[in-house]
Structure 1
Amino acid sequence: MFLTAFGVWSWIIWITFAKNLWDSDRAWAADGSPTAYFIVHAVLTVVSFVLGTVIGVIGWRALRARRPQSA
């Protein structure tokens, strides 16, 4: 259950972070192009989404494997 909960929690946290990043004044240069700050944190966000998903799927599969199999 912990791994599944971690996967869900990760998505909740990083969606909020991504929205805040997008709206941040430090994310965009005066000409509208993304700054290094934005790029680094966008990569961090994507990696965290991927890891959260993988961990959540592992947890979900473990939960399903523990259920008694119907005959």
Structure 2
Amino acid sequence: MSRRVALFLLAFGVWSWIIWITFVKNLWASDNSWAPDGSATGFFVVHLVLAIVSFVLGTVIGVIGYRGLRARRTEKVGA
């Protein structure tokens, strides 16, 4: 994997976490997320699942990028 691709994947992973943390904060504060009795609505559940999947994918992609950078670094040290 090239350094450029590895950096892109790592940056994507970090960006994904920043964006989805903000989304979850806004979701939690939204009036659409909670029924009058205080229970979560379908809107909340669906969007929370979407956010969790995005956290997982962002983490996996970021780890792949990080490992790509580390592999390139150890290649240069060993060479």
Q: Which runs of 5+ in 2 are unaligned?
A: 1-6
Residue 34 of structure 2 corresponds to residue 34 of structure 1: no
1:47 matched to which residue of 2?
53
1:41 partner letter: H
Tell me which stretches of 4 or more aligned residues in structure 1 moved more than 6 Å.
none
Residue 77 of structure 2 corresponds to residue 69 of structure 1: yes
2:37 partner letter: D
* TM-score of the two chains, using structure 1 as the length reference: 0.96
* Cα distance between partner residues in 2 of 1:60 and 1:32: 41
Deviation string for 1:13-71 (max 9, x for gaps)?
00000000000000000000000000000000000000000000000000110112358
Percentage of matched positions with identical amino acids: 73
Residue 16 of structure 2 corresponds to residue 14 of structure 1: no
2:77 partner letter: Q
Return the structure number with greater helix share: 2
* Cα distance between partner residues in 2 of 1:57 and 1:69: 21
What's the C-alpha RMSD, in Å, of the aligned pairs? 1.1
